[in-house]
Structure 1
Amino acid sequence: MNLTIKNTCFTLTLLLSFSIMAQDIDFSQMSESEQQVTGIHKLSASEQEALLRWITQKQQALMMAERKKNLGLKDTLRNMDESTVKARLDNHYSNAIGDQFYQLSNGQIWKQTSSGRITIDKNGPQIITIEPGFMGSWTLTGDGNRSVKVKRIK
Structure 2
Amino acid sequence: MRLVRLLPLLISAALAVPALSFAADQYVPLQQRMSPEEFKAAGLDKLSPDELKNLDAWLSGHPKVVTKEVTKTVDESGKPVFYPSKEKAGPVQARVQGEFAGFNGHGEFTLDNGQVWKQADSTRISCMTSTNPKVQIRRSLLGNWMMAVDGCNDTTSVVRVK
Normalised to the residue count of structure 2, the TM-score between the two structures is 0.37
Q: Which has the larger radius of gyration?
A: 2
Name the structure, 1 or 2, with higher relative contact order (CA <8 Å, separation 6+): 1
Question: Quick check: which one's helix share is greater?
Answer: 1
Normalised to the residue count of structure 1, the TM-score between the two structures is 0.39
